[in-house]
Structure 1
Amino acid sequence: MTGGLKRLILVNSYLICLFLASFAQADNKTLLVVGDSLSAGYGIDIKQGWVHQLQLKLDREQLAYTVVNASVSGETTTGGKARLPKLLETHQPDIVLLELGANDGLRGQPIKIPHNNLANMITAVQNADAQVLLIGIQIPPNYGARYTEAFAGIFARLAQTYDTALVPFLLEGVALNPQLMLKDGIHPTAEAQPILLDTVWPYLKPLL
């Protein structure tokens, strides 16, 4: 076999591999995460965050999904609602995980603001023919029991109204464990991230 023929075979093999890889990637469905610092990996390496670990889990289980993490630390439901149309247009997701509201609650926003914003976002996702997984959050009782309970109830009411899947509380088993929270008492540590993923996974898996 001549050197020129060998080079031609190698080039053709390389092009075939690129084609197959591109085809496989194009065939992947898209899972979009729209969240705040809890999903953006605040205070830790982003690769330690539960969203990145979700991609690894999907890969291990040979589930053809590409995870797009559009989470922004400090994001409110108002900011998320403003960003969502462009995100839906750009990524055309099959599933959208909505993890927002904590910053609204920590700022003492009237309950109707996060409720209405999340309702608007759910409707936008459903109108884009994507499934919604709403991720619930609770806040510390800084504003009194009445506000805290009303805030926590937002997510269950929305899930029932719009018939969406719901993770009741993202920080279940984490929030009250000081060893799993950063010094600010708000954000989970790197060690807590697998627990967050385990909390989300049972509600996400039926949507895949």
Structure 2
Amino acid sequence: MTIRSPRLLILALSLSPLVCCGGESEPTGAAALPSRPLLDAPASGVQAPAAELTVPETAPTVLFMGDSIGAGLHLAEHQAFPALLQQRLSAAGLPFRLVNASESGRTAAGGAAAIDWSLRTKPDLVVIELGGNDGLRGIPVEETERNLRAMIAASRDAGARVLLLGVRLPPNYGEAAERFDALYPALAKELDVAFVPFFMEGVGGVPELNLADGLHPTAVGHERLADNVEPTLRELLEALPPD
């Protein structure tokens, strides 16, 4: 089973006994799903999914908290790197239930505001892919750090392990880029969380792997992102205790 958007996540949660009885309202703006036009056909060199994955009931749940890149903006849902990781690892004998709560335009503050609601899916592992919009908008690094810390703490309090995906700014951001880029490895080391140093490695700044806006990866670019994240995610899934 795959829940691929904030709107579907909210629908699924609204049907669960936990939420019906909890009395807590959803975070402001969480139901607003950005427009995501789907491609009519897969990009060259990218395979269409053979069929909907069948995930065993005992499989772990992986929650992705990301922005437009995690959401696969302007691509079909199966082409976004979270879905690619689910397809690959399921084929390798490591199936997991994917809850993709990524949302276009989301900042680290938006993730911190939505994390408690999203954690109602009871994930075993939370993948945090946030902060890029903070850096591009000039949000103070201290604010981004505070919100990433809050997400990590909330995830751990819920019993989930955490994978932090490192983000970097373009070098033309100068000193601001240096301060921003240093945040992720320092935070991962201090809090002892699993870490991918730069999940956009080999994709960011490569024109042929990005759409015309120069910011969002193509379907082939998402394949590269999955390449970057897969080894660490595989290790974490293998280390999860049996259900």
How do residues 178-189 of structure 1 correspond to structure 2 at under 5 angstroms?
A: 178-189=207-218
Q: Percent identity among equivalent residues?
A: 43
Contact 2:86–2:95 (CA<8 Å) still a contact in 1?
no
In structure 1, the partner of 2:102 is 71
| Residue 152 (1) aligns with residue 181 (2) | yes
Task: Please tell me the residue identity of whatever aligns with 1:130.
Answer: A
- Equivalent residues, number: 183
In structure 2, the partner of 1:4 is none
Q: 152, 157, 168: which is aligned to 1:127?
A: 157
Q: 194, 199, 206: which is aligned to 2:228?
A: 199
Q: Deviations over 1:45-69 (max 9, x none)?
A: 1211111111111220121311110
In structure 1, the partner of 2:137 is 107
CA distance in 1 between partners of 2:81 and 2:140 (Å) = 29
Task: Please tell me the residue identity of whatever aligns with 2:78.
Answer: K
Q: Which 5+ residue runs of structure 1 have no aligned equivalent?
A: 1-23
Task: Please tell me the residue identity of whatever aligns with 2:222.
Answer: Q
Secondary structure (helix, strand or coil) at the match of 2:74 reads coil
Which consecutive aligned stretches of 4+ in structure 1 deviate over 6 angstroms post-superposition? Answer: none
CA distance in 1 between partners of 2:129 and 2:159 (Å) = 19
| Residue 42 (1) aligns with residue 73 (2) | yes
| Residue 118 (1) aligns with residue 148 (2) | yes
Task: Please tell me the residue identity of whatever aligns with 1:62.
Answer: G
Secondary structure (helix, strand or coil) at the match of 2:213 reads coil
Secondary structure (helix, strand or coil) at the match of 1:27 reads coil
Secondary structure (helix, strand or coil) at the match of 2:235 reads helix
Higher radius of gyration, 1 or 2: 1
TM-score by length of 1: 0.85
Secondary structure (helix, strand or coil) at the match of 1:133 reads strand
In structure 1, the partner of 2:204 is 175
> What is the RMSD computed on CA atoms of the aligned residues?
1.2
| Residue 190 (1) aligns with residue 209 (2) | no
CA distance in 2 between partners of 1:162 and 1:156 (Å) = 10
In structure 2, the partner of 1:166 is 195
Q: CA deviation at 1:185?
A: 1.1
Secondary structure (helix, strand or coil) at the match of 2:56 reads helix
Q: Which 5+ residue runs of structure 2 have no aligned equivalent?
A: 1-54, 238-243
Secondary structure (helix, strand or coil) at the match of 1:152 reads helix
Contact 1:27–1:64 (CA<8 Å) still a contact in 2?
no
CA distance in 1 between partners of 2:59 and 2:222 (Å) = 25
Q: CA deviation at 1:194?
A: 1.0
